[in-house]
Amino acid sequence: MKNKSLLCDFYELTMANGYFRAGMGEQISYFDVFFRKVPDGGGFAIAAGLEQIINFINDLSFTDEDIEFLRGKNIFDRGFLEYLRNFKFTGDVWAVPEGTPIFPGEPAFIVRAPTIQAQLLETYMLLSFNHQSLIATKSNRIVRAAEGRPVLEFGARRAHGAEASVMGARAAYIGGCAGTSCVLADRDFGVPATGTMAHSWVQMFPDEYTAFETYCKMYPDNPSLLVDTYNVLKSGIPNAMKAFANCLPPKGQRNCSIRLDSGDITYLTKKARAMLDKNGFDDCRIVVSNSLDENIIRDLILQGACVDSFGVGERLITGKSEPVFGGVYKLAAVEDEKGNIIPKIKISENAAKITTPHFKKVYRIFVEGKAMADLICLYDEEMDFTKPLELFDPDYTWKRRTVTEYEARELLVPVFRGGKQVYTCPDIHTVQKYCADQLDLFWDEVKRFENPHNYYVDLSRKLWQLKSDMLGGVRK
């Protein structure tokens, strides 16, 4: 896509035009980006998409072609179109680093900018955050289910569009996948691309053995043969072993693997392992694919399937079990002419949709080296973390916990100040390691697949009182 500036919802432009005409376009506003519910009933999500958001903000400008297109709508003020022609982001952005475990209701991004500028970021920030966080979260569930066995993302052909395949592969790697089938994700982001053969390769040759032999001779370093085109146990594995034996020793090679993409995986992998071991191929790895997800992988392992690595496609790249992340972009405050910050709140009959007002910061609280709670505070609160800290259970506000020996670390880092990027994005391998290291800081109870521990996300007493007072004022 040559220019993404018009990748926005139309109402962003109509509102921006309205703010311009009403003389409100330069008023400073604060917006929070957060999500409301962890996919798949999990205990946490993984933040991703920041690098693409940074690139979007840096590139955000409107071409003559864009301006003429909008002029043709016959609803935009001439002065507003000239404003867009000279558009430049001048605001501030804070974000949690990619790979950070995050929880519902807490800001993953905060935008402080003139209202028009802040409004025009909404769609792209949400689509990047929502998509990549969804895939990173799903990937991490699948990787944890595999219990140390490598997981490869194989979903490019099933992704919801070209960009979704590349960004999905990127996010899956952040979540812990070992590689991808998508070559463009390797070229652009360094996500290791890998792949072997399709059934069509085997079908193209006169017989299965010739297909395997030809492949092994061409790629002797680490050939992986797909053994389920015809009959796994009667021909696939015997022909694979024969090709390995005839082609690899003369090249001084030993590494090899077989792949199964159909059938009863537990039964076939057990039989395959026995056949390979009996014939001296005890180091030949077994790779399986075919519509896998974390639940199927857990079942295969519990059933004793002999699997060394997994290829996961459509159920990962589409987030099939719960394909919407649900991040939102909500106004939290505005500044008056004197620079005073005025909190704003959104009310709803659905309690989950009531927002938390004001400009905020977020701390992660660690006890005995493990993350125990996140604390959302007002931006200017001077928190005394040398004193005991009282926290409320997220589901039962009458249940309190007081901690005395703990460490508090601020989560949000500056990304833009005055329109200038002040954050350097780490490479994708560093992000992946950071994600794994951060997850090691959480108790296993938070990482359970079913009925995970409810992680505390609490408001400081001052912020809680402000929210309560604003709700009370609205009710009056």
Cβ neighbours of residue 382 under 8 Å, at least 6 residues apart? none
Same-domain check for residues 360 and 418: yes
* Tokens encoding 29: 């506003």
Burial class of residue 314 (count of CB atoms within 10 Å of its CB; 0-12, 13-18, 19+): middle
User: Which of 317, 332, 350 delimits the end of a domain?
Assistant: 317
Please state, in angstroms and rounded to a whole number, the distance separating the CA atoms of residues 60 and 5: 6
Cβ neighbours of residue 445 under 8 Å, at least 6 residues apart? 43, 452, 453
User: Which of 255, 288, 317 delimits the end of a domain?
Assistant: 317
CA–CA distances in Å: residue 224 to residues 9, 259, 476: 46, 7, 70
Please state, in angstroms and rounded to a whole number, the distance separating the CA atoms of residues 134 and 141: 11
* Tokens encoding 421: 């990027």
pLDDT in the model for residue 349: 86
- CATH code, 212: 3.20.20.70
User: Has residue 147 been placed in a domain?
Assistant: no
Asked if pLDDT for residue 2 goes beyond 70, the answer is no
pLDDT in the model for residue 88: 96
CA dihedral (294, 298, 301, 303) positive or negative: negative
26-57 residue pLDDT tens: 999 999 999 999 999 999 999 999 999 999 99
Please state, in angstroms and rounded to a whole number, the distance separating the CA atoms of residues 155 and 195: 12
422-468 residue pLDDT tens: 999 999 999 999 999 999 999 999 999 999 998 989 999 899 999 99
Give the three-class secondary structure for 326: coil
Same-domain check for residues 71 and 180: no
Q: What is the arithmetic mean of pLDDT over 290-302?
A: 96
User: Has residue 376 been placed in a domain?
Assistant: yes
159-185 residue pLDDT tens: 999 999 999 999 999 999 999 999 999
- CATH code, 453: 3.20.140.10
Same-domain check for residues 284 and 336: no
Same-domain check for residues 129 and 27: yes
Asked if pLDDT for residue 73 goes beyond 70, the answer is yes
The tally of domains found in the chain comes to 2
Range of the structural domain that residue 339 is part of: 10-135+323-475
Same-domain check for residues 327 and 311: no
Q: How many CA atoms lie within 13 A of 134 on its CB side?
A: 23
Q: What is the arithmetic mean of pLDDT over 399-406?
A: 81
DSSP 8-state symbol, 442: B
Same-domain check for residues 231 and 163: yes
Same-domain check for residues 313 and 331: no
For the question of whether the overall pTM of this predicted structure is more than 0.85, the answer is yes
User: Has residue 341 been placed in a domain?
Assistant: yes
Same-domain check for residues 267 and 339: no
Tell me the one-letter amino acid at 227: V
Same-domain check for residues 302 and 338: no
% of residues, the chain, pLDDT over 70: 97
User: Which of 288, 317, 346 delimits the end of a domain?
Assistant: 317
Same-domain check for residues 358 and 305: no
Residue from 273, 215, 283, 206 nearest 246 by CA: 215
Burial class of residue 475 (count of CB atoms within 10 Å of its CB; 0-12, 13-18, 19+): exposed
